[in-house]
C-alpha cells in the first residue's frame, strides 16, 4: 500500500464455541486494541452494553482469532476482529 492510510473504527465480534453461529456480542471501537492471542482471557463484565449478563465466576478464553482488513473510501482501512471463545472458570 502506498501513502498514508487512515484507520476506521474496528468492529469486534465475540463468538461462542464456533464461528458458524451469529456473534454472542459485538461492538465497535476507535481506540487501538492490544493484540489478542489464543489462550487470552476476556472478562465480559467490561463489555460495553452487553446484551446478555455475564456468567458469575466465569471468564471467556480465546480459542481462535480472525482479523479482516479491507480498503474503504477516502484511504481508510476497515478492521474486523472476530474471536471464538469458550467459557472457563474465572481465576481468583
Sign of CA dihedral 37, 10, 26, 19: negative
What tens digit of pLDDT does each residue of 15-70 get? 988 999 888 888 888 877 788 999 999 877 776 665 555 666 788 899 999 988 87
Compute the radius of gyration of the chain from its Cα atoms: 15
Task: Give the pLDDT confidence score for residue 75 in this predicted structure.
Answer: 65
> Is the model more confident about 36 or about 74?
36
Please say if the pLDDT value at position 83 is more than 90: yes
Please say if the pLDDT value at position 12 is more than 70: yes
Reported pTM: 0.74
Amino acid at each position: 500500500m502506498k501513502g498514508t492510510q487512515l484507520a476506521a473504527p474496528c468492529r469486534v465480534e465475540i463468538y461462542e464455541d464456533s464461528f458458524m453461529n451469529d456473534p454472542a456480542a459485538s461492538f465497535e471501537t476507535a481506540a487501538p486494541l492490544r493484540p489478542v492471542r489464543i489462550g487470552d482471557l476476556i472478562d465480559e463484565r467490561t463489555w460495553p452494553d452487553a446484551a446478555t449478563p455475564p456468567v458469575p465466576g466465569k471468564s471467556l478464553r480465546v480459542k481462535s482469532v480472525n482479523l479482516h482488513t479491507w480498503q474503504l473510501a477516502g484511504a481508510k482501512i476497515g478492521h474486523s476482529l472476530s474471536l471464538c471463545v469458550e467459557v472457563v472458570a474465572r481465576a481468583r
